[in-house]
């Protein structure tokens, strides 16, 4: 990614990612808002649409650059072909002219058909304006043509293994200006009738959820623009959000909920996320695009008209978003308990208890590591690891090394067992013995286990049956003899591990119980009947 001092590289990188406003420089845009736009917006009232345009200019307008010819070519094709009033007629002509041709070729032919009776004015304004390609004139009627935005989702399998195509949310183009205007108008009504801080936050979350992700009115930089509007709203409530990191924290607190909100809107429109092939098809299939855009617009308009009413379809999600922002503000010290309801205070108290348990768990881990490290460092690499077979097993398993570089035994496990005052050696061989060479070479895996009363007996068997060399047998014998001497320390290590594990389980159970209580309180608090 290019640095801010290398604008040519910056723009090239941005365009390669499909951006026409670079995602770099967000913090610089924030400083423009804080140092310049904020005071003006606080002093002089503005309509919401004007306010957002001003914020977009501040947050995304610190660079201006010429868009490449390839972008202009695509924009001009959209100006000629997209969302036309006579689209059905043009689609019939296209089917007669290029019915069986590829999507790319059909789109080229469609543009040629549309050029015959249409003139266009390419006028893309990347900053401070809605995402419009410009205007077109057909049959004496001029109209503005808006762009769709795309939001891509990839599955875990796609990210890990490169399998499968991404799924795409194709945003509204036809009627974008009207839906955006209705959103701003409804928000102003909610804001102007707000009686409490919670009402103010609910109105702002209504604007945030519908605006930033669903409508996405600007070409790029919508997240930072709406984030700045949230900060501005809080500023009007006496809550000063001046650091870029704090604004980012607010936006990130809503990230997962924004995805859920988007999926719900798509489902309510009886639509689905699209494949790249389906998006390409909508570029040349007027009837399918009109149906898609119509369903999406209807779902948006119904949701916006519902506002934040308790009976509204999206009321619970909007109220939850407001609660998440309020929770973030309280945790970061921007608001005090006076802004919290009784239930929210109870939740805050339980979360404080959870943090106390986490702190204790961290202390336990530090004490455990200090104690175990002290024992291990004392005996160096001779006894490289002394661990319980599991945390509650009655035996100790030693992975033995003669020195730091060479393993005393390469493919075996020796457990040092203590029964009263007697020490025994349990040897499990995980490599080919003389009788298993053919099986192992064909991909098999042999394993045998036996317990011995003495080191010499164990080693004699290993040399005889498992091809252990005499030299390595002596190295192993030295390691095992030292293991006998340090066994009491191994027992102490075992005690530390078991004690730490037992307390950690108790702490985990306590945290889980508190978390469940918090979830129950949140569900009850956010039910429509309690809103």
In a domain, 267, yes or no: yes
Interhelix angle for 48-60 vs 222-236, to 10°? 120
Q: What is the pLDDT at residue 399?
A: 36
Distance CA 61, CA 424 (A): 76
Which pair of tokens denotes residue 100? 């069986």
Distance CA 419, CA 160 (A): 49
Q: What is the pLDDT at residue 392?
A: 26
| DSSP β-bridge partners for residue 150 | 170
pLDDT band at 488 (very low <50, low <70, confident <90, very high): low
404 and 306 inside one domain: no
In a domain, 1, yes or no: no
Is the model's pLDDT at 43 over the cut of 50?
Answer: yes
Average pLDDT of the chain, as a whole number: 80
**pLDDT > 70 in the chain, percent:** 72
Q: Which H/E stretch holds residue 171?
A: none
DSSP string, 43-104: HS---HHHHHHHHHHHHHTT---PPPHHHHHHHHHHHHHTT-TTHHHHHHHHHHHHTTS-HH
Is the model's pLDDT at 174 over the cut of 70?
Answer: yes
125 and 191 inside one domain: yes
Q: What is the mean pLDDT of residues 30-48?
A: 92
In a domain, 529, yes or no: no
- Reported as a single tens digit per residue, the pLDDT across 437-483 is 333 333 333 445 566 677 777 777 767 765 566 776 676 676 666 65
Q: What is the pLDDT at residue 384?
A: 34
Q: What is the pLDDT at residue 496?
A: 75
Distance CA 388, CA 398 (A): 9
8-9-11-15 Cα dihedral, nearest 10 degrees: 140
265 and 398 inside one domain: no
Q: Which H/E stretch holds residue 506?
A: helix 487-526
pLDDT band at 211 (very low <50, low <70, confident <90, very high): very high
322 and 417 inside one domain: no
Which pair of tokens denotes residue 317? 């999600």
Q: Which H/E stretch holds residue 360?
A: helix 342-379
288-293-299-300 Cα dihedral, nearest 10 degrees: 170
Query: CA nearest 126: which of 58, 180, 224, 60?
Result: 60
Q: What is the mean pLDDT of residues 495-514?
A: 87
Q: Which H/E stretch holds residue 450?
A: strand 448-452
418 and 280 inside one domain: no
Identify which of 75-84, 163-172, 409-418 has the greatest average pLDDT: 75-84
Query: CA nearest 473: which of 483, 485, 461, 482?
Result: 461
Range of the domain at 291: 13-338
Q: What is the pLDDT at residue 502?
A: 86
In a domain, 403, yes or no: yes
Is the model's pLDDT at 202 over the cut of 60?
Answer: yes
Q: What is the pLDDT at residue 504?
A: 87
Q: Which range among 78-82, 169-173, 368-372 shows the weakest confidence by mean pLDDT?
A: 368-372
Is the model's pLDDT at 5 over the cut of 60?
Answer: no
Distance CA 64, CA 72 (A): 16
Q: What is the pLDDT at residue 421?
A: 52
Q: Which residues, 6+ apart, have CB-to-CB distance to 115 below 8 Å? A: 80
Query: CA nearest 111: which of 88, 143, 87, 77?
Result: 77
Start-to-end CA distance of the chain, whole Å, equals 46
Q: What is the pLDDT at residue 381?
A: 38
Which pair of tokens denotes residue 270? 């009886």
Q: What is the pLDDT at residue 77?
A: 96
pLDDT band at 512 (very low <50, low <70, confident <90, very high): very high
Distance CA 188, CA 229 (A): 13
Q: Which of 338, 366, 397 is the last residue of a domain?
A: 338
Q: Which of 271, 304, 338 is the last residue of a domain?
A: 338
429 and 323 inside one domain: no
162 and 29 inside one domain: yes
Instruction: Assess contact for 313 and 302: CB atoms under 8 A.
Output: yes
Is the model's pLDDT at 341 over the cut of 50?
Answer: yes
Which residue shows structure tokens 């401070």? 128
Instruction: Assess contact for 95 and 87: CB atoms under 8 A.
Output: no
More confident of the two residues 284 and 389: 284
Ramachandran category for residue 262: left, alpha or beta (phi over 0 → left; psi -120 to 50 → alpha): alpha
Q: Which of 317, 338, 359 is the last residue of a domain?
A: 338
Angle at 118 between CA 114 and CA 119, to 5 degrees: 130
Backbone phi and psi for residue 385, each to the nearest 5 degrees, phi listed first: -140, 130
Q: What is the mean pLDDT of residues 493-515?
A: 86
Q: What is the pLDDT at residue 301?
A: 97
More confident of the two residues 26 and 528: 26
In a domain, 230, yes or no: yes
Instruction: Assess contact for 13 and 22: CB atoms under 8 A.
Output: yes
125 and 210 inside one domain: yes
Q: Tell me how crowded residue 142 is: count the other CB atoms within 10 A of its CB.
A: 10
Q: What is the pLDDT at residue 382?
A: 37
407 and 276 inside one domain: no
- Reported as a single tens digit per residue, the pLDDT across 113-139 is 999 999 999 999 989 999 999 999 998
- Reported as a single tens digit per residue, the pLDDT across 63-111 is 666 788 888 999 999 999 999 999 999 999 999 988 788 999 999 999 9
Q: How many domains does the chain have?
A: 2
Q: Tell me how crowded residue 286 is: count the other CB atoms within 10 A of its CB.
A: 22
pLDDT band at 172 (very low <50, low <70, confident <90, very high): very high
Q: What is the pLDDT at residue 99?
A: 75
330 and 404 inside one domain: no
163 and 265 inside one domain: yes
Q: What is the pLDDT at residue 481?
A: 67
In a domain, 503, yes or no: no
In a domain, 504, yes or no: no
In a domain, 290, yes or no: yes
Q: What is the pLDDT at residue 408?
A: 31
235 and 164 inside one domain: yes
Contacts within 8 Å (CB) and 24+ apart, 372-377: 372/493, 372/496, 372/497, 375/489, 375/490, 375/492, 375/493
* Helices and strands (H and E) in the chain: how many: 21, 10
Which pair of tokens denotes residue 141? 């009627």
| DSSP β-bridge partners for residue 450 | 427
């Amino acid at each position: 990614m290019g640095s801010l001092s290398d604008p040519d590289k910056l723009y090239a990188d941005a365009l390669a990612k499909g951006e026409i406003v670079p995602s770099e420089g967000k913090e610089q845009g924030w400083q423009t808002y804080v140092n310049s736009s904020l005071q003006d917006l606080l002093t002089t009232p503005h309509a919401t649409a004007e306010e957002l345009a001003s914020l977009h200019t501040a947050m995304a307008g610190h660079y201006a650059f010429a868009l490449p010819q390839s972008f202009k070519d695509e924009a001009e094709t959209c100006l000629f072909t997209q969302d036309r009033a006579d689209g059905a007629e043009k689609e019939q002509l296209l089917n007669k002219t290029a019915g069986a041709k590829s999507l790319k070729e059909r789109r080229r032919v469609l543009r040629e058909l549309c050029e015959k009776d249409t003139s266009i004015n390419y006028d893309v304004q990347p900053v401070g304006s809605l995402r419009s390609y410009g205007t077109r004139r057909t049959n004496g009627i001029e109209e503005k043509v808006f762009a769709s935005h795309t939001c891509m989702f990839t599955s875990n399998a796609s990210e890990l293994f490169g399998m499968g195509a991404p799924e795409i949310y194709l945003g509204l183009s036809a009627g974008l200006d009207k839906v955006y205007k209705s959103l701003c108008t409804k928000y102003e009504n909610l804001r102007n009738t707000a009686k409490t801080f919670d009402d103010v936050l609910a109105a702002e979350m209504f604007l945030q959820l519908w605006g930033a992700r669903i409508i996405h009115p600007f070409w790029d930089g919508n997240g930072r623009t709406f984030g700045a509007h949230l900060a501005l709203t809080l500023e009007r409530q006496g809550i000063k959000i001046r650091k870029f990191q704090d604004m980012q924290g607010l936006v990130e607190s809503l990230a997962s909920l924004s995805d859920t909100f988007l999926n719900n809107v798509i489902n309510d429109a009886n639509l689905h996320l699209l494949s790249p092939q389906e998006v390409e098809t909508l570029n040349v299939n007027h009837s399918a695009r009109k149906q898609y855009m119509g369903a999406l617009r209807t779902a948006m308009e119904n949701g916006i008209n519902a506002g934040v009413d308790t009976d509204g379809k999206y009321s619970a999600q909007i109220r939850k978003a407001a609660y998440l922002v309020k929770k973030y503000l309280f945790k970061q010290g921007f608001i005090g308990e006076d802004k919290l309801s009784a239930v929210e205070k109870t939740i805050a108290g339980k979360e404080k208890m959870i943090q106390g348990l986490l702190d204790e768990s961290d202390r336990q881990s530090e004490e455990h590591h200090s104690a175990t490290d002290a024992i291990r460092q004392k005996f160096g690499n001779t006894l490289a690891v002394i661990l319980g077979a599991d945390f509650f097993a009655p035996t100790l398993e030693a992975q033995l090394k003669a020195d730091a570089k060479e393993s005393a035994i390469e493919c075996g496990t020796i457990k040092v067992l203590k029964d009263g005052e007697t020490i025994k050696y349990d040897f499990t061989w995980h490599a080919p013995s003389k009788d298993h060479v053919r099986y192992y070479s064909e991909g098999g895996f042999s394993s045998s286990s036996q317990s011995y009363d003495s080191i010499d007996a164990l080693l004699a068997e290993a040399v005889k049956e498992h091809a252990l060399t005499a030299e390595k047998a002596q190295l192993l014998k030295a390691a095992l003899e030292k293991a006998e001497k340090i066994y009491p320390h191994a027992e102490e290590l075992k005690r530390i591990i078991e004690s730490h594990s037992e307390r950690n389980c108790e702490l985990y159970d306590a945290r889980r119980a508190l978390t469940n209580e918090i979830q129950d309180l949140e569900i009850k608090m956010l039910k429509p009947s309690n809103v």
